[in-house]
Structure 1
């Protein structure tokens, strides 16, 4: 469609030359010889009719080309964004934790949009320019090789200038993409921490900080724009040289009788048609550099290897939920070990708790069980199979997880409870809410389970969010229930109700609990005490208190029997 459009776009100039030829030569004109029509009025009528058809073809093909190009750009934009997002969500948790969220968001959104603009505007312009040079060049070649030489002389200069400017613009637009990533990251972080900003009356300070990022982005853009804008005047000077050559030399040849007047008219119009679109090279170059910088960032994201790939093995149903750690060492990135030779067995159907001071390695151990990270050495087994060999459905599909930092999605309470089991019935959702001691609260709301909660559940209290997250985990009917401080934000009465529900849930699944409040883990089958990444004690609550070791000391502090 683009090719057809450009052919139709060139034809009117030929018709203008033919019309001039008709007026000057009359019945001996080119169009008269072709059509066999002597009347100049009839010849002009034929030219007018042909012109109407050409314009209709040009308009229709331009519409079709525009729709198809934009459809292609939108399709590639969609595919690339989904592919990049899917790859990002399969990257290990540690990668996300060490990379600003706004940087990833800028790549998935702004960078993909920049590439879409290049596909939507830049590539069609490149194709049209090339077609224009080929078609107009053919007309010039037929008319006069001397004029072809002079008219085309500016094109190599423009191409060379484009390459020089491309090298100059490349680092400038790399800097633009870096600055927009910084700005996006700062905006994302500030919006997530808006409550903290307000509580410390830091609005003015944060506005100035965001303004600093925005100024850096603006300056990077202005620097790139000044360089790219300088290209257009240089192109115009080259066009002026080519147009002047055609005007003068072609005019002299016409006066000398070496060139027909109609053909001279065509060449004058064609020179402008040939060279003037080259002024768009600057805009295309600008789009190309922006798109290139964005593409580099997108491809860099796609090139990040998945450090924790899924296995292929599947567990036999029903999954028992037995967990075993054998000689596990683990740490983060290139840092020192945070877990040192952990050996632990959690039989199927039992409830075990992990306690210890802050930084003891409790959450790190849970990350290995959920396979957010892999151990540096040793094995983590589920029902006797190394979790590194299991596919995600067998591993995480068998686990119900309540994180320390609760995340609820923007949607209804029912949607959030059923997130892990979208096909759950309303009765199943209500049963899970009852087990998590949240049913009475939901029933008190005007819209019940249809009540909308904001992003991250900001319209709910911390305890309410924890109970909804617990209901979400229980609804999966997991073989292994993993709780990371799952009752830290609830009152004593609610905690007692949840503990009763957990004891009932523990009758049909294995439960692994991390807790700082020892009152929440008095009744497990076994308590594991961690200190500096090592298991230093293990036993029931009564056994550990009787040993008068680290656990007994923690218990004494939390019950007020001793000071820290």
Structure 2
């Protein structure tokens, strides 16, 4: 997601992409830009008034203001004072307005970018998340968006006002003295060249800085999530060194960028000095010779600094701009990630869903590993229980992922109640399936929050009934705060068995016509396994159940058992039928019962 940082025009390409994204904010951008321009024009005006005032003092009745109908010097000074008041008031007003407008735009745009990036990420296929670091994604949605906000808060206005200064001051210069204007503007090509030179040098460096931020975020997230493993292996020192290495890499990347951006100001300062000296010397000589009005000379001297000195601030502006565009590329690259599993919104499974499931010639392979399934044909009649058994990596969980449309098969189709699932909306498809995984994920919050995750409007009676069915109510009731007990991040305050029972209760509260148990008893103790088995006998009636299991003792009552090996179904039938065939299932049964 880093974009093409080596392309010299990549920052401006990123800006163009950002403007296309922000086209809904066109009115706010135009209004804020207009206020920035007007503010800068008011900001330049006092220097012009100073020159006019000098002209009044020197020439009095022959001054420029006298030609406007104000004959006495006192009247001229008075009118200049009034104009100065309104100019300062106008400058203050429009500074307030542009700051409000740019900052509000920054807040609104960063909030929308983060929301859009998150919502798009939720629509992306599971393969995207399996090939990306969660730390990089968090850094993109949080730190990168904040970097763009910082640029819009001040950098955008600064860039606009520098451009306005060059145009407006340049116009005044050429009106007063084309010769002095040419001399004063001589350093500007050097300054502009320097800006682009430093931009080309800084662009790739800041892209690298953003990558290092993502790596650092990923390292922190992984270490905090795996703190128990770190402690159990007494690896605190080693992990601290790894984090230090990531942190130092980030510091080093930043230092390279800082060395480039810091060199900009001294170069520009000397260019500013050359322009100022040219105006000061040549303009002074012309004033002494009488070919240039003394007041005009004063205006030129003051405006030279007003023209050139703000350009030294371009270093900071370019610094902000490059950081922001590096971040923008990452954000917009995330938004541009293609979605391959497309939602058929508006087409729902016919209610009530009976739960008849068919796999017809289904094949699928993971692009990264080549593993997958081949030519799978399965039929699970509504209300029946199918058990899938086989070695790790044989393709059992892949069948479940395809049924949930985490992926789409390369060949064949899957049907529920006779409707191909590709023709159904994802909401109706996944709403009809309850998943209880081996890797239970509980969200930070209370037990109640987690149980009602799939059924937010569930009553306490429904919650308790589901918890009792999953044999979770006994331990919930024994907790001091009951359903309102906090579970901690990922449920760390609960035991593995308790988390597994809550996961089953959460799926049951959803009351799905199809229940999928993906090795739901593989990581629990015998007591919890027995409790879950008792639950399954109660909940399996009038519901289609698909179980993935390594412990064959948990599936002997299944209506049908399919043995999966290297992506293909090699045997299927009931427990007794498969034992009678004395094939792969029989051999595995013999091993697990100690008869091998």
Bucket of the pairwise TM-score, normalised by the shorter protein: over 0.9
Q: 1:480 aligns with which of 496, 514, 529?
A: 514
Show the counterpart of 2:280: 247
1:195-225: per-residue Cα shift (whole Å, max 9, x none)? 1111111111111111111111111111111
Give the deviation of 1:92 after TM superposition: 1.0
Q: Is the 8 A contact 1:435 1:498 kept in 2?
A: no
2:458 alignment partner in structure 1: 424
In structure 1, the residue corresponding to 2:216 is in which secondary structure? helix
Once the two structures are TM-superposed, the CA of residue 416 in structure 1 deviates from its matched residue by 0.8
Q: Distance in 2 between matches of 1:304 and 1:363?
A: 25
Alignment of 1:103 onto 2:136: yes
Q: Give the whole-Å Cα distance in 2 for the aligned partners of 1:54 and 1:338.
A: 73
Aligned to 1:121: 154
Measure the CA separation in 2 of the matches of 1:73 and 1:151.
Answer: 35
With 14-23 and 2-11 compared, the bigger mean Cα shift is at 14-23
Write the mapping of 1:11-26 to structure 2, written as runs, cut at 5 A.
11-26=45-60
CA shift for structure 1 position 490: 3.5
8 Å contact 2:205–2:257 — kept in the other structure? yes
- Residue 344 of structure 2 contacts residue 426 of structure 2 at CA under 8 Å; is this kept in 1? yes
1:337 Cα offset (Å)? 4.1
Q: How far has the Cα of 1:84 moved from its partner?
A: 1.5
Give the whole-Å Cα distance in 1 for the aligned partners of 2:499 and 2:108.
38
Q: Are the equivalent residues in 1 in contact too, given 2:199–2:322 (CA < 8 A)?
A: yes
Q: Residue in 1 aligned with 2:39?
A: 5
Cα offset for 1:287? Answer: 1.9
Structure 1 residue 460: Cα displacement: 1.1
Query: Partner residue of 1:399?
Result: 433
Look up the SS of the partner of 1:453 in the other structure. Answer: coil
From 240, 243, 266, the equivalent of 1:210 is: 243
* Residue in structure 1 matched with residue 7 of structure 2 by the alignment: none
Q: Cα distance, 1:358 vs. partner?
A: 2.0
SS at match of 1:30: coil
Q: Give aligned pairs, total.
A: 561
SS across alignment from 1:473: helix
Between the aligned partners of 1:442 and 1:60, the Cα distance in structure 2 is 61
Query: What's the CA shift for 1:339?
Result: 1.6
> Are positions 1:286 and 2:289 aligned together?
no
Check whether the contact 2:438–2:521 (CA below 8 A) recurs between aligned residues.
no
| Equivalence for 2:89 | 56
The alignment status of 1:553 with 2:587, answered yes or no, reads: yes
Q: Is the 8 A contact 1:404 1:486 kept in 2?
A: yes
Where does structure 1 lack aligned partners over 5 or more consecutive residues?
none
Superposed, which structure 2 residues align to 1:170-319 within 5 Å?
A: 170-312=203-345, 313-319=347-353
Partner Cα separation in structure 2 for residue 433 and residue 321 of structure 1 = 23
Cα 1:35–1:405, aligned 2, differ >3 Å: closer, same or farther? farther
Give me the whole-angstrom Cα distance separating, in 2, the residues matched to 1:443 and 1:488. 25
- Alignment check: 8 A CA contact 2:215 2:246 kept: yes
Q: Are 2:68 and 1:34 aligned? A: yes
Question: Matched residue of 1:349: which SS?
Answer: coil
Query: Which whole-Å CA distance do the structure 2 matches of 1:164 and 1:33 have between them?
Result: 48
Q: Structure 1 residue 122: deviation in Å?
A: 2.1
> How far apart are 1:34 and its partner, in Å?
3.4
Deviation of 1:327 (Å): 1.9
Matched residues in 2 for 1:460 and 1:355: separation? Answer: 29
Normalising by structure 2, we get a TM-score of 0.90
Render the CA deviation track for 1:223-247: whole Å, top value 9, x for unaligned. Answer: 1111121111111111111101110
What does residue 454 of structure 1 align with? 488
User: 1:115 deviation in Å?
Assistant: 2.1
Q: 2:562·2:571 contact (CA, 8 Å) conserved in 1?
A: yes
Alignment partner, residue 27 of structure 2: none
Once the two structures are superposed, residues 467-497 of structure 1 have per-residue CA deviations (whole angstroms, 9 ceiling, x without a partner) of 1111111111111111112233443333333
Is 1:390 the counterpart of 2:453 in the alignment?
A: no
Segment drifting more, 298-307 vs 468-477: 298-307
Asked if the contact 2:362/2:410 (under 8 Å) is kept, the reply is yes
Q: How far 1:288 sits from its partner (Å)?
A: 2.0
Match of 1:366 among 378, 393, 400: 400
Aligned to 1:499: 533
Task: Please state how far the C-alpha of 1:85 moved relative to its aligned partner.
Answer: 1.5
Residue 341 of structure 1 aligns to a residue in which SS? Answer: strand
CA distance in 1, matches of 2:523, 2:207: 45
Q: Which residue of 1 aligns with 2:22?
A: none
The CA RMSD over aligned residues, in Å, is: 1.8
1:25/1:309 Cα in 2 relative to 1: closer, same or farther (>3 Å)? Answer: same
Counterpart of 2:18?
none
Per-residue deviation, residues 292-342 of structure 1 (Å, max 9, x unmatched): 222222222222211222235321111111111122222211533432222
CA drift of 1:145 comes to 1.0
Assess, with a 3 A threshold, how the Cα gap between structure 1 residues 437 and 35 changes in structure 2: closer, same or farther: farther
* Alpha-carbon distance in 1 for matches of 2:228, 2:130: 21
Scaled by the length of structure 1, the TM-score of the pair is 0.95
In 1, the alpha carbon distance for the partners of 2:73 and 2:315 equals 47
User: Paired residue for 2:170?
Assistant: 137
The answer to whether the 8 A contact 2:469-2:505 is kept is yes
Q: Deviations over 1:508-563 (max 9, x none)?
A: 3211111112222121111112222222222222332333332233223223333x
- Equivalent-residue separation in structure 1 for 2:234 and 2:528 (angstroms): 34
Provide the C-alpha distance between the structure 1 equivalents of 2:516 and 2:122, rounded to a whole number of angstroms.
21
1:57 shift after superposition: 1.7
Deviations 1:335-369 (A, max 9, x none): 33432222111001111111122222211121111
SS at match of 1:452: coil
Deviation at 1:37, TM superposition (A): 5.5
- Tell me the CA shift for residue 132 of structure 1: 1.0
Instruction: Give the whole-Å Cα distance in 2 for the aligned partners of 1:236 and 1:493.
Output: 77
- Counterpart of 2:110 (choices 70, 77, 88) is 77
CA–CA separation in structure 2 for the residues paired with 1:497 and 1:453: 21
Q: In the alignment, is residue 47 of structure 1 matched against residue 80 of structure 2?
A: yes
